C-alpha cells in the first residue's frame, strides 16, 4: 500500500485500504486526474462500491465537476461541512503545489 501525507491530505492508492477507511466512517475524494488511463470514473466507483458491499457498507458519491473531484462517504455518516471544505481546499492546494514545484 502506498500512502503519502501532504499538508494533512493522505493519498491512498490501494483500493482495499480506501474501502477500509470508508467502512470505518471516513470520507475521501477521487481526484479525476489521478484515475488511470486504462479505466474511468464509473469503473472506479463500481470497484469501490463492490469492495464496500463485501464489507456490508453502503457508500455514496457526489461528483463536483467544477472541481474535477468526486466525494465518497459512508451512506450513514456524511462528512461535516467544515471537514469536507477543508479536504477540498487541501486537494486544491496539493494540486497547486504539484503544478508549481
pLDDT band at 8 (very low <50, low <70, confident <90, very high): low
- Beta carbons of 99 and 63 less than 8 angstroms apart: no
Give the residue extent of every domain in the chain.
3-99
Across 78-101, average pLDDT: 91
Percent of the chain with pLDDT over 70: 91
pLDDT over 80 at 95, yes or no: yes
Handedness of CA 78, 81, 84, 88 (dihedral sign): positive
Beta strands in 18-84 (DSSP E): 27-31, 59-64, 69-74
Paired strand residues for 71: 29, 62
Above 80 in pLDDT, residue 4? no
Give residue-wise pLDDT tens across range 54-69: 999 999 999 999 999 9
Amino acid at each position: 500500500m502506498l500512502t503519502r501525507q501532504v499538508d494533512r491530505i493522505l493519498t491512498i492508492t490501494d483500493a482495499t485500504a480506501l474501502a477500509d477507511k470508508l467502512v470505518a466512517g471516513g470520507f475521501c475524494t477521487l481526484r479525476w486526474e489521478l484515475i488511470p488511463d486504462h479505466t474511468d470514473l464509473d469503473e472506479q466507483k463500481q470497484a469501490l462500491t463492490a469492495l464496500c458491499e463485501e464489507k456490508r457498507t453502503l457508500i455514496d458519491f457526489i461528483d463536483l465537476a467544477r472541481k474535477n473531484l468526486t466525494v465518497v462517504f459512508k451512506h450513514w455518516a456524511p462528512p461535516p461541512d467544515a471537514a469536507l471544505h477543508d479536504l477540498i481546499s487541501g486537494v486544491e492546494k496539493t494540486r497547486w503545489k504539484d503544478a508549481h514545484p
